[in-house]
């Protein structure tokens, strides 16, 4: 279960923890560095988290929690599936723009050789499920022509997150408006010329 300590409620402290894990990697990062970066005593870290692994996976889980909460808030007043999908794309891009270092942690954990990749896969599945719900709703209304909702939802999330990561690498940030326009064009219009 996620531990939401005061470290996570302070956005800057949360970002500092993410940065240490993203830049250094899990194994080289130390609890001493994290304590210094957050301005708390090392004992405080161990009060909230039993070890570095517990802190690391709590950071990832809280990141997904932030993303899921912002997506659900953005969608709550939308009824049109196409507009819902556009809002979701925008929210995911904004999340990766605000928490760019967590994008690298997600990528490392999902596609690395880490034995705990199942943890992140399960968390990310919550976002893919929201996309799937939108696609299924749009399919039912005749708005989307989707053959396999789960595969398509995974592809949409993959396109958004991979494009965000590439934009961060290339430009230092996501550049949400431009990236969103390109992803929406791909998702809604496809690749083939008419």
Q: Where are the domains of the chain?
A: 6-189
CATH T-level fold of 6-189: Tetracycline Repressor; domain 2 (1.10.357)
What averages of pLDDT result for each successive group of 10 residues across the chain (194 residues)? 63 90 90 93 90 90 89 94 96 89 78 63 86 97 95 93 84 80 90 76
Query: What tokens appear for 84 in the block?
Result: 């819902």
pLDDT of 151 reads: 95
Say which residues have a Cβ less than 8 Å from residue 71's Cβ, sequence separation at least 6.
Answer: 87, 88, 91, 92, 127, 130
pLDDT of 149 reads: 96
What number of CA atoms fall less than 13 Å from residue 6's CA on the CB side? 7
């Amino acid at each position: 279960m996620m531990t939401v300590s005061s470290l996570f409620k302070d956005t800057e402290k949360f970002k500092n923890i993410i940065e240490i894990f993203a830049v250094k990697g899990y194994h080289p990062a130390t609890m001493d560095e994290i304590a210094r970066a957050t301005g708390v005593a090392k004992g405080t870290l161990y009060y909230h988290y039993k070890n570095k692994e517990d802190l690391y996976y709590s950071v990832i889980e809280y990141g997904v929690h932030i993303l899921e909460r912002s997506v659900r808030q953005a969608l709550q007043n939308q009824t049109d599936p196409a507009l819902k999908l556009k809002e979701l794309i925008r929210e995911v891009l904004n999340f990766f723009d605000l928490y760019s270092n967590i994008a690298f942690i997600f990528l490392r954990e999902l596609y690395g050789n880490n034995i705990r990749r199942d943890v992140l896969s399960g968390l990310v599945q919550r976002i893919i499920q929201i996309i799937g719900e939108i696609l299924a709703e749009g399919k039912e209304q005749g708005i989307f022509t989707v053959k396999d909702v789960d595969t398509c939802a995974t592809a949409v999330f993959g396109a958004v997150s991979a494009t965000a990561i590439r934009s961060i690498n290339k430009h230092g940030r996501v550049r949400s408006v431009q990236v969103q326009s390109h992803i929406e064009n791909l998702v809604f219009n496809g690749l083939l010329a008419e």
